[in-house]
């Protein structure tokens, strides 16, 4: 069943990769791993950072690229400019557009994929239809002929290297099960 009448961004927030309960939880876990326990204001920012996808017909197209604006407006109104910027610059594209470095939330957001069971991520990405846009975006670097499972392993590794480099240290690869077990 096609859900083209339902914008892709909304599908992402409701049952896709950016699902409004699960994704903030994985971002929270990665924030904790990278920086320690977030403040309550930072937790609110983690929860709202992707809300701007609600009406976006795409994830990385012109509308999707503006998704940080809504969460940033909310954070700025609630907590001031520092928190608005935390949300606004969680997008590398948006930060680059404004001549700013990406915020700490950017790296926690990218590293959150380490807390994703592969089957659950791919299920949500397929249900929402996001997987097609994500795969096309990575076509040059990874190609389209390999499986979604192989693509997930590749993108997880890429995001992990990116977050580690930005944090200034190596975050050694561990399976999600190993991470969860080490935190218990």
Q: If DSSP codes are grouped into helix, strand and coil, which group holds residue 61?
A: coil
pLDDT band of residue 173 (cuts 50, 70, 90) is very low
Higher pLDDT, 113 or 138: 113
Give residues with Cβ within 8 angstroms of 173, minimum separation 6.
157, 160
Please state the rounded mean pLDDT for residues 141-166: 84
Structure tokens at 16: 């896709």
Average pLDDT over the chain reads: 88
Mean pLDDT of 99-126: 95
In a domain, 1, yes or no: no
pLDDT at 159: 84
Q: Confidence class of residue 2 from pLDDT cuts 50, 70 and 90? A: low
Which has the closest alpha carbon to 170: 161, 183, 181, 179?
161
The per-residue pLDDT for 131 is: 93
Model pLDDT, residue 107: 92
Tokens 């690869």 -> residue: 173
State the burial class of residue 119 (Cβ atoms within 10 Å of its Cβ: 0-12, 13-18, 19+). exposed
Q: What pLDDT is stored for residue 102 in this prediction?
A: 94
- Closest C-alpha to 110, from 134, 124, 90: 90
- Domain boundaries, position 97: 8-183
The pLDDT score that the predictor gives to residue 168 is 55
Say if 2 falls within a structural domain. Answer: no
Residue 141 belongs to some domain of the structure: yes
Asked if pLDDT for residue 31 goes beyond 80, the answer is yes
In a domain, residue 88? The reply is yes
Structural domain contains residue 3: no
Please tell me the total count of domains within the chain.
Answer: 1
Task: Give pLDDT tens digits for 132-153.
Answer: 998 888 778 787 888 999 999 9
For the cut 60, the answer to whether the pLDDT of residue 184 exceeds it is: no
Token reading at 8:
């892709």
What integer pLDDT is reported at residue 176 of this predicted model? 44
pLDDT at 89 over 80: yes
pLDDT range class, residue 130, cuts 50, 70, 90: very high
Residue 169, pLDDT above cutoff 80: no
Q: Give pLDDT tens digits for 92-101.
A: 999 999 999 9
């Amino acid at each position: 069943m096609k859900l083209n009448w339902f914008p892709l961004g909304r599908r992402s927030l409701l049952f896709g990769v950016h699902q409004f309960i699960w994704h903030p939880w994985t971002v929270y876990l990665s924030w904790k791993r990278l920086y320690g326990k977030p403040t309550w204001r930072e937790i609110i920012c983690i929860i709202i950072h992707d809300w701007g996808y609600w009406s976006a017909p795409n994830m990385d197209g012109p509308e999707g690229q503006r998704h940080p604006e809504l969460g940033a407006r909310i954070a700025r109104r609630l907590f001031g400019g520092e928190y608005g910027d935390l949300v606004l610059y969680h997008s590398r594209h948006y930060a680059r557009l404004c001549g700013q470095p990406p915020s700490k939330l950017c790296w926690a957001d990218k590293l959150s994929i380490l807390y994703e069971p592969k089957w659950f991520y791919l299920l949500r990405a397929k249900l929402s239809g996001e997987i097609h846009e994500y795969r096309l975006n990575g076509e040059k670097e990874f190609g389209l002929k390999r499986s979604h499972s192989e693509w997930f392993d590749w993108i997880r590794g890429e995001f992990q290297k990116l977050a580690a480099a930005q944090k200034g240290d190596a975050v050694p690869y561990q399976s999600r099960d190993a991470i969860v077990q080490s935190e218990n």
